[in-house]
Amino acid sequence: MMTPKDIETQVFKKVALGYSVDEVDTFLDKIIADFEQLYKDNSKMLEKAKNNDELIKYYKDLEDTIRNSIVRSEKNAEETKKNAEVEASQIVKAAEQQAKDMLQDATKQLYRLETRILQLKTEYEATKGKMKMLLEAQLKMLEQHEKDNDIDE
């Protein structure tokens, strides 16, 4: 997978009128492919976060069921209730922590993707400006050549 450093250090061969269009297109295709992979990875992480929210709900529902069963129990009701509450609390706490961690990871990934998009946009604009300046310089040179050689249009 390409890195920002790869993009930064990419050098294109010079041809008669500027950069090689094929090389630039190939390079941009690589950038697009990498971005698409990052986007897919982010989607997977968001789906995992959603699944963990469902898991938390499941554990909370399970906790309610356990509490109702404990209330109905006889001799060991109080001990069973305490054990179940401790276990359910640990399960909920662990599930909430896991969901929090996954959400934090997804947020970091989103930030990285947004940063990457901004970098790519900046690089695109810079490349576009360079290409424009290069083409304008080439056009001026051609006009000067025509002027110097008295070539009629």
| Each residue's pLDDT tens digit, 8-56 | 787 777 777 777 778 888 888 888 888 888 888 988 999 999 999 999 9
118 — pLDDT class (breaks 50, 70, 90): very high
Q: Shortest CA distance to 102 belongs to which of 54, 36, 35, 33?
A: 54
Q: Say how far apart CA 126 and CA 122 lie, in whole Å.
A: 6
66 — pLDDT class (breaks 50, 70, 90): confident
Domain annotation covers residue 127:
no
- To 10 degrees, what angle do helices 77-148 and 21-72 make? 170
Q: Find the mean pLDDT for residues 68-73.
A: 68
Q: What values do phi and psi take at 50, rounded to 5?
A: -65, -45
Give the residue carrying structure tokens 């990052």: 38
Q: Find the mean pLDDT for residues 110-116.
A: 95
Q: Find the mean pLDDT for residues 117-131.
A: 96
Q: Say how far apart CA 136 and CA 54 lie, in whole Å.
A: 59
Q: Say how far apart CA 36 and CA 8 lie, in whole Å.
A: 19
Q: Would the pLDDT of 1 be above 70?
A: no
Boundaries of domain holding 35: 19-114
